[in-house]
Amino acid sequence: MTTSTTATTLTTPQVLPQIREAVYPGDTAPLVEIVREYVRWLDMDLSYRGFEEEMQSFEQTYTLPSGMFLIAETTAEIAGCVGLLRHSDEVAEVKRLYVRSAYRGLALGETLMHGLIDKAKSLGYAKLVLDSVPQTAFAQRLYERLGFTETSPYYANPVPGTRFLELVL
């Protein structure tokens, strides 16, 4: 009797993406692309928050000391990202945490957030804040596991159901 085995195609990557800080101008176009993909996934119009202006000034906005981005990268593409935006000497905002669907289930969101929290601490921030719309319920559970708690809104007229969270570092 002969036994045959069939090769199985895996839907998740064999090698975990590496986390690194974005470097401009080389990372600008792929980062803007993944951030736009994230906003399409949200299915929201973010014009009320100045989204197009943010995309047009991406490098200036997300270069220290005003901000920065971490990316999770494979040899082929950016698998996920998260940004940090300075509000004051003490407070920074978490921006645009997103992991592409092909890379979900690998704890990349958590890995990116741990990296961002470490970076925020090294930059001397005392607190991180973020806003999270209803579509990001999975991310909200991650934020809670990381120790984020409810806080007051830090901008006017949020989308109904938006949660504002903070983490004291």
The mean per-residue pLDDT over the stretch 154-167 comes to 90
List, in order, residues 6 or more apart from 149 with CB less than 8 Å away. 165, 166, 167
The 3-class secondary structure across 46-78, one letter per residue, is CHHHCHHHHHHCHHHHCCCCCEEEEEEECCCCE
Beta strands in the chain (DSSP E): 18-21, 67-73, 78-86, 91-99, 127-132, 149-150, 163-168
Place of tokens 């990316």: 71
Digit-coded pLDDT (tens) for 69-124 = 999 999 889 999 999 999 999 999 999 999 999 999 999 999 999 999 999 999 99
Q: Is the pTM of this model over 0.85?
A: yes
Dihedrals φ, ψ of 45, to 5°? -95, 110
Digit-coded pLDDT (tens) for 29-83 = 999 999 999 999 999 888 888 899 999 999 999 999 999 999 999 988 999 999 9
Q: Which CATH number fits domain 18-126: 3.40.50.2300, 3.10.20.30, 3.90.110.10, 3.40.630.30?
A: 3.40.630.30
